[in-house]
Amino acid sequence: MEKIYDVVIIGGGPAGLSAGIYSSRGKLSTVILNEGSYGGQAVMTNEVANYPGVELTNGYILANTMKKQAKDFGCKLMSNVKIIKYDIVGEIKTFELEDGRIVKGKSVIFATGGRPRYLNVPGEDRYKGSGVSYCATCDGDFFTDKEIIVIGGGNSALEEAGALTRYASKVTIVHQFDHFQAFPTVIEEAKANPKIDFIMESKITELTGDDSIKTAMIEHIPTGEVYQKSIDGIFVFIGYAPNTTGLDNILKLNDNKEIIVDNEMKTEMPGVFAAGDSIAKRYRQITTAVADGTVAALSAAEYLRSN
């Protein structure tokens, strides 16, 4: 007999894994379809110090604990899969995978997460992997005793800048505004770090070098003055774009291409829910993703009970 899951979850980040934990523990047959590595953006976080009930850890360890919990409760995990066709209008939701397999479910939770936003300046594409990075945890040790730039002014930028001082000899934070958007405690910690310098009201306009990045052109926004800074690497933390490519024809998205949901993580389509960094919301933290996934799973369970 053809397998039809109670819940199909698209994405294996904190939101998707949390949904998988709750739905599978609730005795609903559950499968997670995940295109990349489990943990999503969380695995790129060098330090997690504010996850309630958990002492200082890193995103990779936390994500793998979530993955194990979901699996132990009976959630099926399908990794490295790519969905090429969605049919979520009917009572039974159908997903066609690139390898020809078909996955069906009575409900679906989109937890597709986000991806780093790019600077979109000359040289960025050329030096990705050769000096340009979006993950301090992944690439920090490649810049031991080197001078690097961190782009951004939010919590991620300042926290990762601090983490990168364990490797780099000097970290310069370049931010386009005259103030940071991070929490006060995060700002204080960054300013107290003797290995961190700041260039405010400025932006990168071009990256140059040979086989690897060597210089960054920096524009002081108020004056328009452009100058050159020698550099060994650059880390970009200017937010994330939602992974909703291809969903705009089947789900209601806002102008930022984020999935629109209500307080119960319901979309406008029956049996279709969404959670995490792919939805329209203000705050994006591991804890908020976990909360979204929990609510989505409980809402999906309620939907299944009433249909």
- Known catalytic residues are 135, 138-139
State how far the Cα of 236 lies from the Cα of 28, in Å rounded to an integer: 40
Q: Which helix (H) or strand (E) holds 241?
A: strand 240-242
- b/e string for 43-72 if b means 16 or more Cβ within 10 A? bbbbebeebeeeeeebbbebbeebbebbbe
Name the residue among 12, 13, 4, 16 with its Cα closest to residue 274: 16
Helix axes 14-25, 286-305, angle to 10 degrees: 40
Tell me if residue 95 falls in helix, strand or coil.
strand
Mark out the alpha helices in 73-180 (DSSP H runs): 136-139, 155-164
CA angle 155, 140, 279 (to 5 degrees): 40
Tell me if residue 90 falls in helix, strand or coil.
coil
